[in-house]
Amino acid sequence: MPTNVLGTELQCCCMKPRTGYYRDGYCRTGVEDSGLHTVCALMTDEFLSFARTRGNDLVTPMPDWGFPGLRAGDKWCLCVLRWKEALDAGCAPPVFLEATQMSALEFVTLEDLREHALPK
């Protein structure tokens, strides 16, 4: 099992809705995942609106892709660069460190993640 940004075993982000590139509930990535879905985040209205303005509609369901559509309060594995884009714009959603894969640290700092971290 991959490790999280704290160096311990990666925890499940969410099973309902089933998240992760592999739809197994974990924010883990592999060679097939060009988006690097490694950040476990709690969706907020502010972030969902921001994502939509950037062409990433996370609200509208897309059943053909197994995507239920998200709303504030849902946990979801975000692409690390989309989270960083939101961070730079001042609207990064809160994250769960235990469920955010270590490889996210190649693009964002642990300090930035900690500043947006929610308790277990």
Domain boundaries, given as residue ranges, for the chain:
1-120
Asked if the peptide bond before residue 17 counts as cis, ω within 30 degrees of 0, the response is yes
pLDDT tens, position by position, 95-110: 999 999 999 999 999 9
Name the H helices within the chain: 45-53, 80-88, 110-115
The third-level CATH classification (topology) of the domain covering 1-120 is Phenylalanyl-tRNA Synthetase; Chain B, domain 1 (3.30.56)
3-state helix, strand, coil in the chain (%, to 5): 30, 20, 55
- CA 85, 87, 92, 96: dihedral to nearest 10 degrees? 100
| pLDDT for residue 17 | 87
Q: Which two tokens stand for residue 34?
A: 């060009």
Q: Which two tokens stand for residue 12?
A: 């499940």
| pLDDT for residue 1 | 77
CA angle 72, 83, 10 (to 5 degrees): 85
User: Which residues does the chain have with pLDDT short of 50?
Assistant: none
